[in-house]
Homo-oligomer: A and B are copies of this chain.
Amino acid sequence: MNRDTGAMTKITKAFEIQKAISDDIVHGRRAPGTSLDETMLARAFAVSRTPIREAIRQLEMTGLVEARPHRGAVVCDVPPERLDDMFAVMRELEALCARLAASAMTTEERAGLRALHDASAALVKSQNRDAYVAANDAFHDAIYDASRNGFLAETTRQVRLRLSPFRRAQFEGRGRMANSFDEHERIVAAFESADAAAAEAEMRVHLGEVRESVDEIDRGEAAENLKPRRPRAAKP
């Protein structure tokens, strides 16, 4: 009884709540800057404030939430310069994953990644954004795991998590999905030639050009391009 999947997901309320709030933040249901009122959350989850507080302490350490003593917690609102920093680290971590994965991948993994990628072609064609987002995550996750460095995979996933509230506009640009797909193709090709340098380079391109494509969106949708830099969303 209470037999759960694999790692025996923690059965404490604090942990469940932490997961739920984290999920809300990651999926944009709690926007950056939003405050997390303990009493309201306690009512919402039908528990006392104690597990809520513990959940908030956990979220604090993940970087999704910032809490100042006696002043409550808010969903982290990351300033643009810091977003740039985070995306830069993300790009390097993913490039590292790609480099290691290119060397370490088994034949099965290579085939699996190719299958994953080929399958996503249909999603591009049908312009199914949500499904492509999921496929994209799966694609990148597979590469993290193929790096054969569990800590690297975790670290990269963690950074991706922290960035996700700011990548809402992921594939909203015209042709952005198709571009992403083409870049993935080049990455898969690099893996298939076991070319670590190419895999790393293509991954870097994939995550570097993201920024620009998003800037394009910003420019297109808001022509008031007066401010030196605007907060923007982005994506791998």
Q: Chain A: residues with CB nearer than 8 A to chain B?
A: 10-12, 14-15, 50, 53-54, 57-58, 60-62, 68-70, 82, 85-86, 88-89, 92, 96, 149-152, 155, 159
| A-B contact list, 17 entries, CB within 8 Å | A10-B68, A12-B69, A14-B57, A50-B50, A54-B54, A54-B57, A58-B58, A58-B60, A60-B61, A61-B62, A82-B151, A85-B149, A88-B151, A88-B152, A89-B151, A92-B92, A155-B159
A15, A96, A151 pick with most chain B CB within 10 angstroms: A151
A82: chain B residues at CB < 8 Å are 150-151
Partner of A15 from B50, B53, B69, B150 at Cβ < 8 Å = B69
User: For residue A53, which residue of chain B has the nearest CB?
Assistant: B54
Asked whether, in the complex, the Cβ of B12 is within 8 Å of the Cβ of A89, the reply is: no
The answer to whether A151 touches B85 (Cβ under 8 A) is yes
Look across to chain B and name the residue whose beta carbon is closest to the beta carbon of A61.
Answer: B61
Chain B positions within 8 Å of A60 at CB level: 58, 61
User: A96 CA to B159 CA in the complex, in Å?
Assistant: 16
List of 6 A-B pairs having minimum Cβ-Cβ separation, nearest first: A61-B61, A85-B151, A57-B57, A85-B149, A54-B57, A12-B69
A152–chain B nearest beta-carbon distance, Å: 5
Q: In whole angstroms, what is the CA distance A88 to B70 when docked?
A: 40
Closest to A88 in B: B149
- Distance A88 CA – B96 CA, assembled complex (angstroms): 11
Known: A11-B69, A58-B58, A82-B150. 19 other contacts (CB 8 A): A10-B68, A50-B50, A54-B54, A54-B57, A57-B57, A57-B58, A58-B60, A58-B61, A61-B61, A82-B151, A85-B149, A85-B151, A85-B152, A88-B151, A88-B152, A89-B149, A89-B151, A89-B152, A89-B155
